[in-house]
């Protein structure tokens, strides 16, 4: 029960800052901060004026439909692309990552949709792939198999993953479990910022729930999480901040305390589109009471965005 209570306190949204300030300017420092970030490919503007922040133990959700610029954004943070405008700061220091390795060294790890796991290899070999632990010297330098298995098992147990056997091929795990191994791997190898690229996109309802729980686990271990998704129902329960993207532009950046799930969904779908949908439904002879509700919602969203 006690653990439950501390967890509740931990995710309290009274303040999203960690109390750290820049000694010179006395302004709050975020773990990762984007300020007016923009990116264009030739004359095509992929991303424009995006501002967001990530803190330790907080989840920042990036929401948007297909083509909204979500992947451009994560590619900039992960070091695959470089931004053309604005600033990207890590722990108060301005950075521009030249390669994924560069971003990784700064503590930014990305778990892509394809996860970068080798299906036929055992879980523990996948966990340590590319960063194997060895023991012994010279020609007798060998893998420290026992230690790696133990660490894998413990790390996954810490994430709340109850594993049958770390020897089994990772391909035998469910999509959600594989996602979690990839997350646990990033956490173990010193990630401070974890970018999750649509982790729930290919999963069923139950598996998505499992992954969402692991996102909270990662958050509770003090990581700053960037959760990319197009599903507000997945984002709202775990997120602390929400960045909404549409056609390469930020259409809203909210703290959880300032927004409800309905408003979030409404903004994502876009007030104008909802109104259009209402007209269409009306023309087809839909239920009038539902239509009235949709229209009311449209009006409220419209009013709100005008107020801003």
Name the minimum Å distance from CB 126 to other proteins: 8
Name the minimum Å distance from CB 142 to other proteins: 4
C-beta of 129 vs 202, nearer to other proteins: 129
Give rounded-to-5 percent helix, strand, coil for the chain. Answer: 45, 25, 35
C-beta of 143 vs 269, nearer to other proteins: 143
Name the minimum Å distance from CB 165 to other proteins: 6
Q: Please state the length of the chain.
A: 308
CA separation for the pair 231, 222 (Å, rounded)? 24
Residues forming contacts to other proteins in the complex (CB under 8 A) are: 101, 112, 114-121, 125, 128-132, 134, 141-143, 145, 164-165, 169, 171-174
- The DSSP result for 251-293, as a single string, is EEEEEGGG--HHHHHHHHH-HHHHHHHHHHHHHTT--HHHHHH
Name the minimum Å distance from CB 121 to other proteins: 5
Q: Which two tokens stand for residue 293?
A: 């509700």
C-beta of 15 vs 168, nearer to other proteins: 168
Q: Which of 47, 18, 16, 19 is nearest to 34 (CA)?
A: 47
C-beta of 36 vs 119, nearer to other proteins: 119
C-beta of 143 vs 291, nearer to other proteins: 143
Q: What are phi and psi of 180, to 5 degrees?
A: -70, -35
CA separation for the pair 65, 246 (Å, rounded)? 7
Name the minimum Å distance from CB 235 to other proteins: 25
Q: Which of 266, 236, 239 is nearest to 251 (CA)?
A: 266
């Amino acid at each position: 029960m006690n653990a439950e209570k501390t967890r509740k306190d931990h995710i309290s949204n009274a303040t999203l800052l960690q109390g750290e300030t820049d000694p010179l300017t006395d302004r709050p420092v975020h773990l990762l901060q984007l300020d007016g970030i923009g990116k264009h490919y030739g004359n095509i503007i992929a991303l424009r004026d995006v501002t967001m922040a990530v803190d330790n133990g907080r989840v920042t959700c990036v929401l948007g439909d297909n083509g909204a610029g979500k992947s451009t954004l994560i590619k900039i943070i992960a070091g695959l692309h470089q931004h053309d405008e604005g600033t990207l700061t890590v722990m108060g220091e301005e950075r521009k990552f030249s390669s994924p390795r560069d971003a990784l060294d700064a503590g930014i790890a990305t778990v892509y949709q394809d996860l970068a796991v080798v299906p036929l290899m055992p879980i523990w070999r996948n966990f340590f792939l590319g960063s194997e632990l060895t023991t012994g010297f010279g020609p007798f330098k060998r893998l420290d198999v026992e230690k790696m298995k133990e660490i894998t098992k413990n790390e996954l147990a810490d994430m709340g993953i109850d594993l049958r056997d770390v020897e089994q091929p990772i391909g035998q795990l469910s999509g959600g479990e594989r996602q979690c191994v990839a997350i646990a791997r990033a956490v173990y190898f010193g990630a401070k910022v974890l970018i999750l690229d649509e982790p729930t996109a290919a999963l069923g309802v139950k598996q998505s729930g499992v992954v969402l729980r692991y996102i909270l686990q990662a958050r509770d271990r003090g990581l700053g999480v960037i959760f990319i998704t197009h599903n507000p129902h997945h984002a709202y329960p775990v997120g602390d901040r929400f960045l909404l993207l549409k056609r390469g532009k930020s259409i809203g950046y909210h703290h959880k305390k300032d927004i409800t799930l309905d408003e979030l969904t409404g903004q994502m779908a876009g007030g104008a589109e909802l109104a259009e949908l209402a007209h269409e439904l009306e023309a087809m002879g839909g239920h009038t009471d539902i239509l009235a509700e949709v229209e009311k919602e449209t009006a409220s969203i419209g009013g709100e965005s005008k107020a801003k």
